[in-house]
A = this chain, B = another copy of it.
Amino acid sequence: MPAYKYPLLIKQLLLTPSVRTPNKEIVYRDLVRFDYRTLFERINRLGSSLEKLGVKQGDTVAVVDYDSHRYLESFFAIPMLGAVLHTVNWRLPPEQMLYTMNHAGDKIVLVHSDFLPVLESFGDKLTTVEKFILLTDDNKKPDTKLNIEVEYEEMLRAGSASYDFPDFDEDTQASIFYTTGTEGAPKGVYFTHRQIVLHTLGIGMVGTLHNCPRFVFSEEVYMPLTPMFHVHAWGNPYLATLLGMKQVYSGKYDIPMLLKLIKEEGVTYTHCVPTILDILLLGAEMEGGDLSKLKAAVGGAALPGGVAQRALKAGVQFFGAYGLSETCPAVAVCDLKEDMLDWDIDRKGSVLKRPGLPVPLAQIEVMDTSGNKLPHDGKSTGEVVCRTPWLTEGYFKEPERSEELWRDGWLHTGDIGYIDEGGYLYLTDRIKDVVKSGGEWISSLKLEDLVSEHEAVAEAGVVAMPDERWGERPMAVVVPKPEYKDKISPDDIKKFLQKFVDDGTISKWAVPDRIEFVAQLPHTVVGKVDKKVLRKQYQ
């Protein structure tokens, strides 16, 4: 057939803004500002320069930078060459950062001057890198032992403004980055051109579902508040570019600068984890900043009620979103159904902070331990699994962990939750915090909450203990309040929990068989009960 077989490639995301919005701006801090026409030209210059430096299809090119216009250019030019964009997480401990760069096989590294010292410290343990390209904000040549090939702007000036990026198979790998769990080495997840294009269309389609003011359009001014090294800044720079939004990149996160950019550039759309929203609100509250024009997709963790209240008060239009590094990341985005549109703001807020409803083309289910899909009844709890056209095929060079991720042909998120009759997803636990007892899943977090309600309890930790008959059984380790020391027994706690069994809050299987009292619990560095240590102590 002579017909052109149109592959889904990242370069095609540039077609629409090149026609519709060539004059929109890209802004970097208070330092750089240019229009989309210049962006396209700079992408061409970057692509042609990297090719001249020897980058071939399949090569991996790493970026170690803050959120920047250069990062945006790399999001496009590197995969558009057929090369792999490695977005390096520089927040990792240095030895893990080094591990990811070697594991990904980085060949060329674009590095901001702030990160030269950490790369220097790797010395010859960095085994695959051939060339470093310097990114600077101040045009100064830094003093470094690294062998810098060229400075970024100098390189772009020598590149071609009208480079012709090739066509290739849409299943070509476009990106890689690493996700860290509680155990083991960081795991590389990777995405193809097809996946990134379909993810962009999928999250874009959310915008067409309802005629709500809170969805995103070309007229928005976008600024990411999840770093670009993290799951392509949730894929939003690709969507923002396709839609032709004005885009603002803030460099190193710094609250006064963020508030200044929001105000002066008129930022209206962002995405972040609850902690960042909290800090932003705090900053605005202290400095009298105005966030009332801001829409924010919030994900990564549950939005605490207090933060949600303050966000509503500040006029921030937040909405929940759900996904993992493994899922590109959007699987669910929260929006209101038509019959909720005239609800009052607090009631709407209680819906909008949920993880949400499946993005178009996404399928979300909860599964029991035997791989059966559970009903969407607002209570049947299991592991959240999903299928979309944009999920990582596995962990890079980790066949066993990939098999585990993709059991039964569904991507296993490791999150525990349920789906209500309206299709909204709710998350209750991470799977590692769940006690699997005789086919029932018991939430350790919920048990901890309930045990803590007893007047004698200062703190409680619940962990799974191996059990011959039931597989696992919950065990509670309890710190009594000083005044109750030696005045409380395991049976008191069990009797207390029985009330919650009677009113249906928990099943009778959830009451721990074993309850121990201790003077204090082990904690992780961020102050959570350290379950790993606890399990070891009692096994």
Chain B nearest CB from A233 CB (Å) reads: 18
> Are the C-beta atoms of B210 and A218 separated by less than 8 Å?
yes
> Are the C-beta atoms of B208 and A363 separated by less than 8 Å?
no
A358 at the interface (CB under 8 A from B): yes
Chain B nearest CB from A390 CB (Å) reads: 8
Interface of A is mostly: loop
> Are the C-beta atoms of A216 and B208 separated by less than 8 Å?
yes
Chain B nearest CB from A361 CB (Å) reads: 5
A360 at the interface (CB under 8 A from B): yes
Q: Which residues of B contact A183 (CB under 8 A)?
A: none
Chain A residues numbered 395-445 whose CB sits less than 8 Å from any CB in chain B: 402-403, 406-407, 409-411, 422-423
> Are the C-beta atoms of B19 and A403 separated by less than 8 Å?
no
Nearest B residue to A392 by beta-carbon distance?
Answer: B3
Give 1 or 0 for each of A185-220: 1 = CB within 8 Å of chain B CB: 000000000000010011011011111010111110
> Are the C-beta atoms of A209 and B357 separated by less than 8 Å?
no
> Are the C-beta atoms of B361 and A403 separated by less than 8 Å?
no
Known contacts A15-B360, A394-B3; A207 and B208 CB within 8 A of each other: yes
> Are the C-beta atoms of A3 and B358 separated by less than 8 Å?
no
Q: How far is the CA of A174 from the CA of B244 in the complex (A)?
A: 33
Complex interface: stretch among A4-12, A298-306, A496-504: A4-12
Nearest B residue to A19 by beta-carbon distance?
Answer: B423
Q: How far is the CA of A211 from the CA of B21 in the complex (A)?
A: 14
Chain B nearest CB from A236 CB (Å) reads: 13
Q: How far is the CA of A204 from the CA of B209 in the complex (A)?
A: 9
Give 1 or 0 for each of A345-381: 1 = CB within 8 Å of chain B CB: 0000000000001101111000000000000000000
A20 at the interface (CB under 8 A from B): yes
> Are the C-beta atoms of B387 and A4 separated by less than 8 Å?
yes
Q: How far is the CA of A393 from the CA of B2 in the complex (A)?
A: 8
Q: How far is the CA of A402 from the CA of B2 in the complex (A)?
A: 8
A289 at the interface (CB under 8 A from B): no
A388 at the interface (CB under 8 A from B): yes
> Are the C-beta atoms of B219 and A388 separated by less than 8 Å?
no
A338 at the interface (CB under 8 A from B): yes
| CB contact between A3 and one of B2, B20, B219, B406 (< 8 Å): that residue | B406
Q: Which residues of B contact A20 (CB under 8 A)?
A: 209, 337, 357, 423
A16 at the interface (CB under 8 A from B): yes
> Are the C-beta atoms of A393 and B1 separated by less than 8 Å?
yes
| CB contact between A208 and one of B2, B21, B217, B407 (< 8 Å): that residue | B217
Known contacts A16-B360, A208-B208, A338-B219; A410 and B4 CB within 8 A of each other: yes
Nearest B residue to A206 by beta-carbon distance?
Answer: B208
Q: How far is the CA of A213 from the CA of B211 in the complex (A)?
A: 8
Known contacts A3-B393, A201-B201, A394-B3; A19 and B402 CB within 8 A of each other: no
Nearest B residue to A1 by beta-carbon distance?
Answer: B393
Q: How far is the CA of A403 from the CA of B2 in the complex (A)?
A: 6
Q: Which residues of B contact A387 (CB under 8 A)?
A: 4, 6
Which of A6, A218, A387, A410 has the most chain B CB atoms inside 10 A of its CB? A6
Extra 19 A-B pairs, beta carbons < 8 Å, given A2-B409, A210-B217: A3-B391, A3-B392, A3-B406, A6-B387, A6-B389, A6-B391, A12-B363, A15-B362, A16-B209, A16-B361, A20-B423, A21-B338, A201-B201, A204-B208, A205-B205, A207-B208, A211-B213, A211-B219, A218-B338
Question: Residues of A with Cβ closer than 8 Å to B?
Answer: 1-4, 6, 8, 12, 15-16, 19-21, 198, 201-202, 204-205, 207-211, 213, 215-219, 242-244, 337-338, 357-358, 360-363, 387-389, 391-394, 402-403, 406-407, 409-411, 422-423
Q: List 14 A-B contacts (CB under 8 A).
A: A2-B402, A6-B391, A8-B389, A15-B361, A15-B362, A15-B363, A16-B360, A19-B357, A19-B358, A21-B337, A204-B360, A208-B216, A210-B219, A219-B338
